[in-house]
Amino acid sequence: MTDAPVRRQRQARESEGPRVLFLGGLGRSGSTLVERMIAELPGVAPLGEVVHLWERGLLEDQQCGCGRSFHACPFWRAVGREAFGGWDRVDGHHVLQLRHAVDRTRFVPLLLLPHLTRRRGEVLSEYLSYYERVYAAALDVSGARVVVDSSKHLSLAACLRRSSVVRLRTVQMVRDSAGVAHSWGKRVIRPEITDRVEYMPVYSPLHVALLWSFTNAALRLVTTAGSRPLVLRYEDVVRAPREALASVAQHAGLPLDDGAVDFVDGLDVHLTSSHTVAGNPMRFRTGNLSLRRDDAWRTDMKPSTRALVHLLTLPVRALLGYAGPAASSDDRRDERSR
């Protein structure tokens, strides 16, 4: 690409604001897989879970998805220079203080109000400015049209909806509540931490069931008025990946040219390295990946536990197509087997 088109693209981004595709929902719902697949589309720059950039990247120098440490990654070094004049000019501890002051689940009801107090509004504006600058810099460095933030956090989505700069589109990643509960019960090593062994958090089925319902119901309220989230079911992604990618691209305003999804061959996808700052361990995987639906929860979970999770999440399950006429044949068979 010549200098003139690059300058025109940059001027357009500066005048319109960065385009951000935000992956929302509860963790273990397939967001990392979807982000990896979206990353293969032309014009997309995946950033991983940007909400964790300040601690895991800036302060702890954990691994980028490319395999290098955050501060050794050429992409993130360039983003830091473009956004702030270098990461050494950003006080990560201060950003975390701002986050704790506005970006927490307890503050979501306040963030949905038409007006904030002057002090809270000032703190939120400062906090958002860090994201706005990172998003814009990532677009400039990558030359992409859209960045993907897979943070998922409901409270961050509530913050971003108040930005006058970010052009936000949200994909609501969902998965059967019992599958999510089963996944959160596993002990999973965090491979991005290389100086010690550390595991991802483990939560009880009851905790996950309540959080699953709250997160998926509340995300509808949090998204910007007039821009409802695209609901994307994990089960549909692994069943029909091309169709899932097409729906995401349309939602993000990305044209799909001929050959744009040639990296998908049936249920096989070819993944290349990407610069994701945090996320599920599969963000490090490259090469060919055969998609298969992870239904281990159907056999590994106790029937009573599975039934309890489904009962507690029934209203939202129905809303998202996991119960009743909208459910898939597999889901209906599972309902009858209980």
In terms of pLDDT, which residue wins out, 222 or 104? 104
Q: Average pLDDT in the 23-27 region? A: 94
Using the predicted structure, report yes or no on whether residue 198 has a pLDDT greater than 80. Answer: no
pLDDT digits over 242-278, tens only?
A: 999 999 999 999 999 889 999 999 999 999 999 999 8
Per-residue pLDDT, 216: 95
Q: Is 301 left (phi over 0), alpha (psi -120 to 50) or beta?
A: beta
Task: Specify the pLDDT at position 125.
Answer: 98
Distances (CA, A) of 203 to 87, 151, 233, 305, 325: 34, 19, 22, 14, 31
The CA distance from 12 to 87, in Å, is 25
**Which residues are registered as beta bridge partners of 173?**
25, 232
Triad 93, 125, 127: Cα angle to 5°: 20
**Beta carbons of 149 and 140 less than 8 angstroms apart:** no
Distance, in Å, from the CA atom of 335 to the CA atom of 233, rounded to the nearest integer, reads: 18
Average pLDDT over residues 187-211: 82
Rounded to whole angstroms, how far apart are CA atoms 133 and 17?
A: 10
SS3 181: helix
Identify the pLDDT of residue 331: 53
Q: Give the pLDDT confidence of 108-151 residue by residue, as tens digits.
A: 999 999 899 999 999 999 999 999 999 999 999 999 999 999 99
Q: Measuring CA to CA, which residue among 17, 16, 36, 288 is closest to residue 150?
A: 36
The pLDDT value recorded for residue 223 is 74
pLDDT tens digit sequence for 291-330: 999 999 999 999 999 999 999 999 999 999 887 544 544 5
CB 56 within 8 A of CB 191: no
Alpha helices in 60-186 (DSSP H): 74-84, 92-102, 108-111, 118-142, 154-160, 177-184
* pTM exceeding the 0.85 threshold for the entire prediction: yes
pLDDT at 189: 72
d(CA 204, CA 181): 7
What integer is the mean pLDDT of 11-26? 83
Give the pLDDT of residue 10. 61
CA distances in angstroms from 283 to 6, 79, 139, 239, listed in the order given: 29, 20, 20, 20
Q: What is the pLDDT of residue 7?
A: 57
Res 4 pLDDT > 60:
no
Contact 184, 42 (CB under 8 A): no
Comparing 24-38, 196-210, 316-330, the range with the smallest average pLDDT is: 316-330
* Predicted local distance difference test score (pLDDT) of residue 40: 96
Please provide the average confidence, as pLDDT, over all residues in the chain: 90
Q: Kindly report, residue by residue over 147-183, the tens digit of the pLDDT.
A: 999 999 999 999 999 999 999 999 999 999 999 999 9
pLDDT of 286 > 50? The answer is yes
The angle, 0 to 180 degrees and rounded to 10, between the axes of the packed helices 92-102 and 118-142 is 130
Give the per-residue pLDDT at 269.
96
**Predicted confidence (pLDDT) at residue 29 exceeds the cutoff of 90:** yes
Please check the confidence at residue 236 and state whether its pLDDT lies above 90: yes
Q: Which domains does the chain have, with CATH numbers?
A: 3-290 (3.40.50)
**What is the C-alpha to C-alpha distance for residues 66 and 285, in angstroms, rounded to an integer?**
10
pLDDT, tens digit, 9 for 90 and up, residues 34-78: 999 999 999 999 999 999 999 999 999 999 999 999 999 999 999
Cα 243-248-253 angle, rounded to 5 deg = 125
pLDDT tens string 74-101: 999 999 999 999 999 999 999 999 999 9
pLDDT computed for residue 190 by the predictor = 72
Q: What is the pLDDT of residue 334?
A: 45
